[in-house]
Amino acid sequence: MQGKKIVVLGTGGTIAGTLSGPGGAYVAAQKAVAELLAGLPLSAAFELVSEQVAQVDSKDMDLAVWQALLRRCRHWLAQPEVQGLVITHGTDTLEETAYLLQALLAPAKPVVLTCAMRPADAIDADGPQNLLDALAVAAEPGAHGVMAVCAGRMHSAIDVQKVRTWQLDAFSSGEAGDLGQVVQGRVVLSRNWPQVPAQYAADAIEKIVNLAAWPRVEIVLSHAAASGATVDALVAPDVAARFGAPPVRGLVVAATGNGTLHQALEAALQRAAAQGVRVVRATRCTQGRVWPRPGDAWPDSQGLSPVKARLALMLELL
């Protein structure tokens, strides 16, 4: 570990938020990442470098921030003295950022996203401990891949989902199970580090990182008494033109159960597919995945949640 660096990249979120009124009201993304690190009982085994990449409430995460984050991750991961990265992030879209970084970078070093459910100046703030746990994972020998660390639990970027709106333990890895735990600064693995083969060559990543726009992919939900009107409106060229939006090139449907669809929605998706729109089926269930069956009209999401399946289809369409 001697001479190694861990780089902490800040993007905002509740972990950098401050209280703004009674009843726990707060404003996200107020404190710089350097402030979050100040005063923590840090290990002397590595040098810490911090950098502010963005300062946003993660509900407002957008392409420009993702691209900036990808650039900085690529830069720091290429430095031989860098042991790993920690990214401070809001909880709302953490799972999407984690998936995107894993899909594009497939890093041989650890990239650890961490967060908080309480703002930085709350008397019972959870951010400091989450940061310490994330640093412990980033410093762990042999660690690699993108993961999330929150409330002492480690989650793979592929599996992590936010499943709770208020509790400190906000994330789950579903049926796949946690990667492990961080117990009093010690990393305890339950399964292997994330290992997803690199899908993109360096020149392809460079192109993706610098594109002004990515293909438009939307998510629709199958539910009782569904209508196909939403799909028809999304696909209609005049609707997109009216709002200055690019045409829809893909639709991810959050289906019921094992990929089943309301008949009205299915008919609308067939109309969309006939116009060249790609359709992928995920499930709205938080546990389990869509298992393919003979005769399926559209591919399943390969176990990805709807929000991650959307990103996967965007990257595929690129």
Q: Is residue 14 annotated as a catalytic residue, yes or no?
A: yes
Give me the DSSP letters along 143-193.
--EEEEEETTEEEETTT-EE--SSSS--EE-GGG--SEEEETTEEEESSPP
- Sorted by sequence, the CB contacts under 8 Å of residue 59 that are 6+ apart come out as 90, 92, 93
Of the listed 11, 14, 97, 114, which one is catalytic?
14
- Sorted by sequence, the CB contacts under 8 Å of residue 275 that are 6+ apart come out as 235
Q: What are phi and psi of 109, to 5 degrees?
A: -115, 165
Beta strands per DSSP E along the chain: 5-12, 18-19, 26-27, 47-56, 82-88, 110-114, 145-150, 153-156, 161-162, 171-172, 180-183, 186-189, 216-221, 248-255, 278-283
Short-list 129, 83, 128, 135, CA closest to 113:
135
C-alpha separations of 229 from 98, 214, 271 in Å: 33, 25, 11
**Catalytic amino acids?**
14
